[in-house]
């Protein structure tokens, strides 16, 4: 099985490295030439365009920021769809609008190409150690065929339904993560204002009902004031916009999601959109005129 990989950013690069470590033959393309060279250095073969990747793989993995980027990679000038042959499969691991996933699947079906939407959760650390969670939408037989390939990058791989279900699940994930980070931020600002050490609060509550993967990952970043991504605020804004767009399309009200979206937008106005989403704390610090953690 020959694997194509397009999109070698913060997540895509370590994911691609894990596919290589699993022994797959991989061809790659990215606009960042230095990253391509790095992947070539660990065993990948470079292609000059998305079309060339499509023509030289059995299954294509895409990992790019949003719906327009996926469509450009697949259907734009020199896009992968021009090279893909009937019977190939595209696994889009980007986080995009589920309606767009369904549309992309329909377009690929016209040329006899299968499609899975398979967004991921876990951030850069889990992408590096191969323990991301992958939520997959698509035909069960196609999921089964490529399960081992996806599992080479992941700790958990679950099929959640047909095309679009993967990204719907990812939107649910991103809502829960965003609201959780906001809750931790509120709690830490309260504790700091009350002269209770947030580190001791974290130590006290992490084993109880308030404990979570989000708390364990983000509380130490907040306390040490390390807001380097991770997962950038601008990407979480994109995910929440997709969640709100989807909710409006199907007549669902998401009031808390819209509130956290406005918090992230305020951080963007402050020029913090490239910081880790744990920097939601900075919004609460600003409105309360206090600094949490190490001074």
Residues known to be catalytic: 170
CA–CA distance, 235 with 229 (Å, rounded to integer): 11
Q: How long, in residues, is the chain?
A: 295
Report the run of H or E that residue 180 belongs to, with start and end.
helix 165-193
Angle (CA) 26-30-34 rounded to 5° is 95
Q: What is the DSSP letter of 277?
A: G
CA–CA distance, 264 with 284 (Å, rounded to integer): 11
The DSSP-derived string for 36-48 is HHHHHHTT-EE-S
Pick the closest to residue 82 from 121, 122, 50 (CA basis). Answer: 50
CA–CA distance, 210 with 214 (Å, rounded to integer): 10
CA–CA distance, 113 with 58 (Å, rounded to integer): 10
Which two three-digit tokens encode residue 228?
């380097």
- CB neighbours of residue 197 within 10 Å: 13
* Residue with token string 């109880």: 208
For residue 179, give the 3-state DSSP assignment: helix
* Residue with token string 């937008």: 265
């Amino acid at each position: 099985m020959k694997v194509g990989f397009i999109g070698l950013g913060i997540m895509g690069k370590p994911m691609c490295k894990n596919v290589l470590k699993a022994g797959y033959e991989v061809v790659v393309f990215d606009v960042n030439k230095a990253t391509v060279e790095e992947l070539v250095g660990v065993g990948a073969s470079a292609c000059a365009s998305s079309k060339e990747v499509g023509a030289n793989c059995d299954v294509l993995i895409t990992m790019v920021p949003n719906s327009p980027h996926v469509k450009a990679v697949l259907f734009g000038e020199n896009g992968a769809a021009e090279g893909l042959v009937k019977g190939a499969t595209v696994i889009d691991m980007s986080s995009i609008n589920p309606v767009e996933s369904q549309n992309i699947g329909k377009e690929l079906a016209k040329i006899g190409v299968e499609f899975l939407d398979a967004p991921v959760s876990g951030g850069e650390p889990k992408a590096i150690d191969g323990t991301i969670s992958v939520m997959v939408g698509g035909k069960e037989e196609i999921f089964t065929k490529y399960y081992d390939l996806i599992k080479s990058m992941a700790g958990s791989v679950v099929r959640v339904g047909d095309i679009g279900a993967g990204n719907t699940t990812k939107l649910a994930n991103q809502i829960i993560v965003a609201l959780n980070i906001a809750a931790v931020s509120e709690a830490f600002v309260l504790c700091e204002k009350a002269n209770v050490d947030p580190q001791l609060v974290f130590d006290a509550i992490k084993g109880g009902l308030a404990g979570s993967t989000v708390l364990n990952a983000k509380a130490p970043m907040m306390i040490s004031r390390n807001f380097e991504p991770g997962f950038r605020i601008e990407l979480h804004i994109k995910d929440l916009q997709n969640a709100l767009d989807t909710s409006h399309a199907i007549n669902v009200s998401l009031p808390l999601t819209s509130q956290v979206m406005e918090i992230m937008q305020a951080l963007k106005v402050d020029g913090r959109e490239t910081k880790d989403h744990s920097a939601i704390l900075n919004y609460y610090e600003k409105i309360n005129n206090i600094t949490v953690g190490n001074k």
